[in-house]
């Protein structure tokens, strides 16, 4: 096993003893009792030079002691307290990049997602646009069903033609049920058919405890999700459609001369929050999925079943603050970054480069980055041909002897067969290796 680590992880703090190791007896007068060198104490050493020497020794000793105490304190991992006690039936806190769960309560408890459902509705609209099946400037005719929808509205009028762009803002900022139904009908023909698309996409994303019956979140039997699934869906929304995600931080939208404000109060309370969606029904209570980014670290929080609008806002903020106060996220390796080169036999090249297929992030307790230890395991003998992306080994990262990252190492390029002559030469070389 070959040991390696990210460069920053190797910048270890020098021990306090190194600060005094460069001082020798030839630099200053001393006595035999002080350094054990067997030289007699001479009278000329007494006086100002001797006192100066003693003062330097005392000063160095004090500095070394203080540094020792300081490093000893910080060398002991600080315990992470339990998450705050929140007024919610369930909650979930996750790092966006690493996917690491930082706090949870009843994360897989099924609950009505209410208008948070519209995250999937918007996601499928974006998917249709990405696939070339829909355009932002495309006109949507408002049906009577969409116009008659109760609850939060964009206030579209039956028979009018509205662009997909405007309907998306009405869906995201104003949480318009009418906009949701109009878009669902335009894409799938009926809202029921669109719910089928929603459930298919839920399976693709790995939302194992989610089922949709409509595009709005209107209370319906068999329509449910969980805090964990909502966080995963939110991660996909932010990652795959960043242009649309920018809409989620807009505080207001005016349509048909009616100005409405975003119901996510965190957009006014914390400028690091840039989304995402609220929801409320009698059964679901007050719900809020939020996301913030501080110092390049993005977190996603989900609060379900709070007692009030104020409570879901404060609980979300408390959960986010907890995550940022006690955790930090680092990118350990970049996709296709060369982590290792090795000899390859019988190929048209003698060296093969290896790395990871995607960026590797890790979320750890704050202040523990320098404690990470990484190692790589690869095959002792690598023979051509090798395809690009072929697995060559694994990289493990440990913290306190616990593996926190285990990722495959792959070939960053292909190596083809070297032909008969190369194979003959390499066979001979291997005989004497």
Per-residue pLDDT of the chain in tens (433 residues, 90 and over written 9): 333 333 333 222 223 222 222 222 333 333 333 333 233 333 344 455 544 455 555 455 444 444 444 444 445 667 899 999 998 999 999 999 999 999 999 999 999 999 999 999 999 999 999 999 999 999 999 999 999 999 999 999 999 999 999 999 999 999 999 999 999 999 999 999 999 999 999 999 999 999 999 999 999 999 999 999 999 999 999 999 999 999 999 999 999 999 999 999 999 999 999 999 999 999 999 999 999 999 999 999 999 999 999 999 999 999 999 999 999 999 999 999 999 999 999 999 999 999 999 999 999 999 999 999 999 999 889 999 999 999 999 999 999 999 999 999 999 999 999 999 998 998 998 998 7
Radius of gyration for the chain, computed over Cα atoms and rounded to the nearest angstrom: 31
- Mean per-residue pLDDT over the chain, rounded: 86
| Per-residue tokens: 406 | 């285990």
Task: Report the catalytic residues.
Answer: 115, 118, 175
Q: Helix or strand or coil: residue 224?
A: strand
Distances (CA, A) of 58 to 20, 51, 53, 199: 12, 11, 9, 73
What is the Cβ-side half-sphere exposure of residue 338, based on CA atoms within 13 angstroms? Answer: 7
Contacts of 21 (CB under 8 A, 6+ apart): none
Q: Tell me the whole-structure pTM to 2 decimals.
A: 0.80
- Phi and psi, residue 284, nearest 5°: -80, -25
pLDDT tens for 135-178 read 999 999 999 999 999 999 999 999 999 999 999 999 999 999 99
Pick the closest to residue 212 from 235, 227, 231, 193 (CA basis): 193
Which residues make beta-bridge pairs with 293?
298
pLDDT of res. 8: 32
């Amino acid at each position: 096993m070959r040991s390696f680590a990210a460069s920053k992880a190797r910048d270890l703090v020098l021990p306090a003893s190194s600060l005094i190791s460069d001082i020798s007896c030839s630099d200053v007068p001393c006595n035999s009792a002080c350094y054990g060198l067997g030289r007699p104490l001479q009278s000329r050493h007494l006086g100002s030079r001797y006192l100066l020497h003693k003062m330097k020794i005392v000063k160095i000793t004090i500095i070394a002691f203080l540094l020792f105490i300081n490093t000893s304190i910080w060398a002991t991992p600080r315990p992470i307290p339990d998450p705050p006690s929140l007024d919610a039936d369930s909650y979930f806190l996750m790092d966006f990049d690493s996917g690491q769960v930082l706090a949870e309560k009843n994360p897989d408890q099924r609950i009505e997602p209410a208008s948070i459902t519209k995250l999937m509705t918007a996601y499928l609209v974006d998917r249709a646009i990405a696939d070339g099946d829909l355009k932002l400037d495309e006109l949507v005719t408002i049906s009577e069903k969409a116009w008659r929808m109760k609850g939060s509205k964009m206030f579209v009028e039956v028979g009018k033609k509205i662009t997909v762009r405007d309907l998306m803002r009405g869906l995201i900022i104003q949480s318009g049920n009418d906009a949701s139904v109009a878009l669902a009908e335009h894409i799938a023909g009926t809202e029921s058919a669109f719910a089928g698309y929603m459930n298919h996409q839920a399976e693709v994303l790995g939302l194992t405890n989610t089922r949709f019956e409509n595009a709005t979140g209107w209370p319906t039997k068999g329509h449910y999700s969980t805090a964990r699934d909502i966080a995963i869906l939110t991660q996909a929304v932010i990652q795959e459609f960043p242009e649309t995600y920018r809409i989620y931080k807009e505080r207001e939208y005016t349509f048909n001369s009616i100005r409405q404000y975003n119901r996510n109060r965190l957009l006014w309370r914390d400028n690091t929050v840039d989304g995402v969606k609220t929801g409320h029904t009698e059964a679901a209570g007050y719900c809020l999925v939020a996301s913030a980014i501080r110092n390049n670290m993005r977190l996603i929080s989900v609060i379900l079943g709070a007692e009030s609008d104020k409570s879901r806002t404060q609980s979300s903020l408390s959960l986010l603050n907890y995550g940022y106060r006690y955790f930090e996220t680092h990118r350990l390796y970049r996709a296709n970054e060369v982590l290792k080169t090795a000899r390859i036999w019988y190929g048209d090249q003698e060296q093969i480069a290896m790395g990871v297929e995607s960026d590797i992030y890790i979320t750890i307790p704050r202040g523990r980055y320098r404690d990470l230890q990484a190692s790589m395991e690869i095959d002792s003998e690598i023979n051509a041909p090798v395809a690009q992306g072929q697995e060559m080994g694994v990289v493990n990262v440990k913290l306190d002897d616990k593996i926190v990252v285990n990722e495959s190492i792959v070939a960053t390029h292909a190596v083809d067969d070297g032909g008969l002559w190369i194979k003959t030469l390499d066979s001979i070389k291997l005989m004497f290796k």
